[in-house]
Amino acid sequence: MLNIIIFGPPGCGKGTQSSLIIEKYNLNHLSTGDVFRKNIKDESPLGKLAKKYMDQGKLVPDQVTIDMLNNEINNCNDSNGFIFDGFPRTIDQAKSLDVLLSKKGEKISLVLSLDVSENELLKRLLLRGKESGRVDDQSEEVIKNRIDIYKKQTLVLKDYYENSGHFFQINGEGAIDSITDNIFKVVDNYIE
Ligand code: ADP
C-alpha cells in the first residue's frame, strides 16, 4: 500500500494537492479537518466538542483526534492506500499513527512537506475565509494562533520524519500544476 502524509502549515495547499494525488493513485483521503467539519455540520457530539477548539484555532485534543482517525481508517473501503492530510499534528499523534498502521502490517511510505512563507499563508487563508466562509479563516488572530501552534507543536514532526529516509520537502509556492508535478515525480520515483 501507498501511505502518504501531506505535511505543512495551515494554508500550504495540503487539501488541494491531496485531491489531485488521490485521483491519480487511487488513495483514500483522510483529512482530519474535513471530518471535524462534517461532524460540526451534523451537530454530532464530536462536532460540538471539536468546534470549541477549532473556532479558536486550537488543536482538538490528541486522544479525541486519534480515536476519530482510527475509526475513519477502519471504515475505509479497499484502495491502494491512504493520504493523511492534517494528521499527525503532534508527536503523540505521529506515534499513534505508527502503531495504527503497524497493526495492519503497514507503514508510512512518504512524507511530503509543503514549504510556503508565512506572508503567503496569511494571504491565502484570509482569501479562503472570504470565499469559503470557513470560520477559522475569517480572523487574522485565529489564523496567527494556528500558525503559532503549528510552529510550537507540529513543526517538530519534521525531525521525527526527516531521518526516516522518506521525507521530501516540496516548494508549495507557484502554480498549483507545477507543485503537483513535483509531487508526482517523488511518488512515481517511490513506486518504481
Ligand atoms: P488548516 O490546515 O488550514 O489548519 P485543517 O482543516 O487541517 O485546516 O484543520 C482545521 C482545524 O481542525 C485545526 O485548526 C484544528 O483545530 C482541527 N484539527 C485538524 N486536524 C487536527 C489534528 N490532527 N489534531 C488536532 N486538531 C486538528
Kindly report the protein residue whose alpha carbon is nearest to atom 18 of ligand 1.
33
Backbone phi, then psi, for 104, in 5-degree steps?
-95, 5
pLDDT score of 181: 98
pLDDT score of 168: 97
The predicted-structure confidence for 44-60, as pLDDT tens digits, reads as follows 999 999 999 999 999 99
The domains of the chain, with CATH numbers, are 2-191 (3.40.50.300)
The ligand 1 atom nearest the CA atom of 86: 7
pTM: 0.95
Q: What does the H/E/C string look like for the chain?
A: CEEEEEECCCCCCHHHHHHHHHHHHCCEEEEHHHHHHHHHHCCCHHHHHHHHHHCCCCCCCHHHHHHHHHHHHHHCCCCCEEEEECCCCCHHHHHHHHHHHHHCCCCCCEEEEEECCHHHHHHHHHHHHHHHCCHHHCCHHHHHHHHHHHHHHHCCHHHHHHCCCCEEEEECCCCHHHHHHHHHHHHHHHHC
Span 87-108, average pLDDT: 95
Grid cell, residue 137, equals 479563516
Span 83-107, average pLDDT: 96
Q: How far is the CA of 192 from the centre of ligand 1 (A)?
A: 33
Percent of the chain with pLDDT over 90: 94
**Residue 79 reports pLDDT greater than 90:** no
Q: How far is the CA of 10 from the centre of ligand 1 (A)?
A: 8
User: Which of 36, 51, 58, 114 for a ligand 1 pocket mutation test, highest count of atoms within 8 Å of Cβ?
Assistant: 36
Residue 76 binned pLDDT confidence (cut-offs 50, 70, 90): confident
**Residue 114 reports pLDDT greater than 90:** yes
Q: How far is the CA of 164 from the centre of ligand 1 (A)?
A: 24
Grid cell, residue 90, equals 503532534
The ligand 1 atom nearest the CA atom of 8: 2
The predicted-structure confidence for 141-177, as pLDDT tens digits, reads as follows 999 999 999 999 999 999 999 988 799 999 999 999 9
The predicted-structure confidence for 120-136, as pLDDT tens digits, reads as follows 999 999 999 999 989 99
The predicted-structure confidence for 5-48, as pLDDT tens digits, reads as follows 999 999 999 999 999 999 999 999 999 999 999 999 999 999 99
**Residue 78 reports pLDDT greater than 80:** no
Minimal CA–CA distance to 30: which of 62, 64, 77? 77
